[in-house]
Amino acid sequence: METFSAPPYRIKMVEAIKQTTRKEREEYLRKAYNNLFLLPSEAVYIDLLTDSGTGAMSDAQWGALMQGDEAYAGSRSFYRLRDVVHKITGYHYFIPVHQGRGAEHVVLPLLAKRPGMYFISNMHFDTTRAHVELAGAHAIDCVIPECRDIHTYHPFKGNMDTAACEENILSKKPENIAGIIMTMTNNSAGGQPVSLENLRSVSALAKKYRIPLLIDGARYAENACFIKQREAACHSMAIPEIAREMFDHADIFLMSAKKDGLVNIGGFIAIREDEALFRAAQVRTVPYEGFPTYGGLAGRDMEALAVGLEEGLEEPFLVHRLDQVRYLCTSLRDAGIPVQYPAGGHAVFVDCKEICPHIPFDRFPGQAVCNEVYLEAGVRTVEVGSLLLGRDPETRENLQSPFEWMRLSIPRRTYTYAHLDIVARAVCSVYERRHALKGLVFEYESPVLRHFTARMNYE
């Protein structure tokens, strides 16, 4: 029998949540044009839309908020945060930004020096892919093929396929590769981790062909915990030690700190030693994010993030964090629900292509299942599939995602195992009537990141 760890904290403050009726949820969803992003939060009972900025801060973080220095330039909160980032990463240069997409907006166009270049990744997530394309570049995904077999165990399904990566470097020519991006953990692959061995191999490729290596590390601490648990050579290493070696193999770290930074807003750019890139990033930061010592953040936000980054590396917290995801994954898998196995770091990913084979990819089976789970129990989830992937930037044809996921993202330090039981029952209930679900078509579709604002109707 599997065992799951108890929370390494006790609850000090609570927020009331309210259950609604099925009839009320039907009206809420109708007014939201069948897009769960457009629901008001009071219409949601258990919110698993995202783990980004939705977690609970600690008493130490709340105390740090009161110490924020709100100086426009040279805030002492900036220097405190800079020092924590340097301690964790070893990188020399640091710029705060309002969140991860701010970091992408600043840095990626600096690497894509001319139109038509390429970024290679284990898998680009939505905002990263959008910023690659907005920079005039193309996104190439090279995740290992084992990732696509959801029912078979592999400890590091987020790994880069290094042979495919090198093949793309050679076919596109090294001078046309703007950067290699390692997404850790690999969100689009099911929150799956990347091994330290794989990162070393990718780093060797990047050095061989003189290509910058970036870590998209919103969930780097979760990835480090997986390495400790699953990579034999690392069992005896401390989590911060593993994280530091991860950063030793890369050149640039872009972070949405709303995940493993344990804050509700924030992010940063960290650069190992490329001073010219740092100076150029500072120039772009000023018009797009703010002065380089605040970058769109209040001093109090930087203080809370400085504490959160260190708390986010604590092993008891990470073990419980991964156990909550594993608990929900096990509950669904035991009930016969097709999920990405083993469990990822921040979410359970349900395979809606397998659940609804009668719904074509461009009618978005993942969205159909997500909507029905909301109607069933007021649980908000998110589609990570062809709706999120969008259209080919040149042909404007719908792209077909290799996965049609319903992602159940678990906020940090927020829900209990009992909440997850409710989620599991709702998904199982929808699964029983899966053949009756219908696909969706657009009423309105934005040209970029369409899933956030799309309006849809049932066929």
SS3 labels along 359-371: CCHHHCHHHHHHH
Residue 126 bears catalytic tag: yes
Active site residue: 138, 258, 320, 451, which one? 451
User: Would you say residue 8 lies in a domain?
Assistant: no
Q: Are 51 and 257 in contact (CB under 8 A)?
A: no
325 shares its domain with 241: no
What would the pLDDT profile of 25-37 be if each residue is shown by its tens digit?
999 999 999 999 9
CB hemisphere CA count around 168 (13 angstroms): 26
329 shares its domain with 344: yes
Active site residue: 216, 251, 260, 301, which one? 216
Residue 218 bears catalytic tag: yes
Looking at residue 459, its pLDDT comes to 87
User: Which of 124-128, 144-148, 306-310 has the weakest average pLDDT?
Assistant: 124-128
307 shares its domain with 319: no
262 shares its domain with 348: no
The rounded distance, in Å, linking the Cα atoms of 191 and 70 is 36
Q: Are 143 and 158 in contact (CB under 8 A)?
A: yes
What average pLDDT is seen over the chain?
Answer: 97
Active site residue: 72, 444, 452, 458, which one? 72
Residue 451 bears catalytic tag: yes
Looking at residue 393, its pLDDT comes to 85
Largest CA distance in the chain: 60
Active site residue: 64, 135, 137, 218, which one? 218
Looking at residue 262, its pLDDT comes to 98
3-state secondary structure of 428: helix
The rounded distance, in Å, linking the Cα atoms of 90 and 107 is 19
What would the pLDDT profile of 78-118 be if each residue is shown by its tens digit?
999 999 999 999 999 999 999 999 999 999 999 999 999 99
Structure tokens at 352: 């809606």
CATH number, domain containing residue 219:
3.40.640.10
Please give the average per-residue pLDDT across 51-70, as a whole number: 98
Structure tokens at 124: 């680009």
Structure tokens at 105: 């907006």
Whether the upstream peptide bond of residue 145 has omega within 30° of 0, thus cis, is no
Looking at residue 128, its pLDDT comes to 95
Distances from the Cα of 43 to the Cα of 28, 46, 112, 406, 441, angstroms: 7, 10, 42, 19, 23
Please give the average per-residue pLDDT across 415-439, as a whole number: 98
Structure tokens at 253: 């770290």
Q: Are 59 and 266 in contact (CB under 8 A)?
A: no
Looking at residue 2, its pLDDT comes to 87
The closest of 288, 298, 279, 302 to 101, measured between CA atoms, is 288
User: Would you say residue 11 lies in a domain?
Assistant: no
User: Would you say residue 12 lies in a domain?
Assistant: no
The closest of 246, 312, 257 to 102, measured between CA atoms, is 257
User: Would you say residue 3 lies in a domain?
Assistant: no
The structure tokens 């070893």 sit at 90
382 shares its domain with 439: yes
40 shares its domain with 95: no
CATH number, domain containing residue 411:
3.90.1150.10
40 shares its domain with 83: no
Active site residue: 118, 125, 278, 341, which one? 125
Q: Which of 273, 290, 311 is a domain's end point?
A: 311
Residue 207 has pLDDT above 90, yes or no: yes
Q: In this structure, how many other beta carbons lie within 10 angstroms of the beta carbon of residue 149?
A: 12
395 shares its domain with 374: yes
User: Would you say residue 231 lies in a domain?
Assistant: yes
Q: In this structure, how many other beta carbons lie within 10 angstroms of the beta carbon of residue 173?
A: 10
What would the pLDDT profile of 5-17 be if each residue is shown by its tens digit?
999 999 999 999 9
The band of 180, judged by pLDDT with boundaries at 50, 70 and 90, is: very high
375 shares its domain with 430: yes
259 shares its domain with 179: yes
Looking at residue 286, its pLDDT comes to 97
Please give the average per-residue pLDDT across 182-187, as a whole number: 97
The closest of 368, 367, 323 to 345, measured between CA atoms, is 323
The closest of 254, 200, 251, 267 to 227, measured between CA atoms, is 200
Active site residue: 105, 259, 320, 419, which one? 259
Looking at residue 302, its pLDDT comes to 98
Please count the structural domains in the chain. Answer: 2
What would the pLDDT profile of 341-388 be if each residue is shown by its tens digit?
999 999 999 999 999 999 999 999 999 999 999 999 999 999 999 999
Residue 1 has pLDDT above 80, yes or no: no
Helices 196-208, 239-248: inter-axial angle, 10-degree rounding: 20
What would the pLDDT profile of 326-347 be if each residue is shown by its tens digit?
999 999 999 999 999 999 999 9
DSSP assignments along 259-316, one per residue: STT-SSS-EEEEESS-HHHHHHHHHHHHHHT-STTTTT--HHHHHHHHHHHHHTT-HH
User: Would you say residue 4 lies in a domain?
Assistant: no
The band of 126, judged by pLDDT with boundaries at 50, 70 and 90, is: confident
Look at strands 267-271 and 93-97 and give their pairing.
antiparallel
Q: Which of 311, 339, 371 is a domain's end point?
A: 311
User: Would you say residue 1 lies in a domain?
Assistant: no
223 shares its domain with 277: yes
Q: Which of 281, 311, 341 is a domain's end point?
A: 311
Structure tokens at 409: 């993202």
What would the pLDDT profile of 281-322 be if each residue is shown by its tens digit?
999 999 999 999 999 999 999 999 999 999 999 999 999 999
Residue 72 bears catalytic tag: yes
287 shares its domain with 326: no
Residue 457 has pLDDT above 90, yes or no: yes
Q: What percent of the chain has pLDDT over 90?
A: 98
User: Would you say residue 380 lies in a domain?
Assistant: yes
Active site residue: 47, 126, 161, 260, which one? 126
Query: What is the extent of the structural domain holding 96?
Result: 59-311
